Amino acid sequence: MLHHQQILKIQTTGKSLCKITPKIEDVVANSGIKTGLCNLFLRHTSASLLIQENADPDVLKDLANFLAKLVPEGASYIHDAEGPDDMPAHIRTALTHTSEQIPIARGRLLLGTWQGIYLWEHRQRGNIRELVVHVSGVGSEFVPR
């Protein structure tokens, strides 16, 4: 069993969905692993990961609008140490994910045709986010018996 781990630093531009699929694909390709699993872990509590539609940007806009209505800024939150977007960002992260797992076959992520991987920044200002990419598996094609 082979393991490859890399930490990616991703600059966000403030509240938005940032497509990171190509960055993850590069890590998998450079890992030498042909069959296995790609684990993603975002080391933050005010941003999240999402696997979602990668063709129509209106899907991402609708998701962002829905979450903004579900968890509004400016509500009376007790925790507001870093501003009015602080606690809503934590709640949005709690409702989404900070980790994902994607199978690998033939050295490539087995995402569906319309799936992409996104880092979802929940804060108003941009940040440098750290994403741990851990790839494990074998360096050859798996042939079932």
User: In 3D, which of 118, 125, 60, 113 has the Cα closest to residue 89?
Assistant: 125
> How many Å apart are CA 28 and CA 114, to the nearest integer?
19
Domains by residue range for the chain, with CATH:
2-138 (2.60.120.460)
Can you give the C-alpha Rg of the chain in angstroms?
Answer: 17
**Contacts for 135 with CB less than 8 Å, ≥ 6 apart:** 3, 4, 5, 27, 28, 31, 33, 36, 37, 38, 39, 104
* pLDDT for res 76: 86
Q: Which value, to the nearest 10 degrees, does the dihedral of the CA atoms of residues 27, 30, 35, 39 take?
A: -20
> How many Å apart are CA 88 and CA 80, to the nearest integer?
9
Which pair of tokens denotes residue 45?
A: 């509590």
Q: 40 has which bridge partners? A: 100, 133
> How many Å apart are CA 66 and CA 72, to the nearest integer?
10
* pLDDT for res 75: 75
**What does the pLDDT profile of the chain (145 residues) look like in tens digits?**
999 999 999 999 999 999 999 999 999 999 999 999 999 999 999 999 999 999 999 999 999 999 999 999 987 899 988 889 999 999 999 999 999 999 999 999 999 999 999 999 999 999 999 999 999 999 987 665 6
* pLDDT for res 145: 60
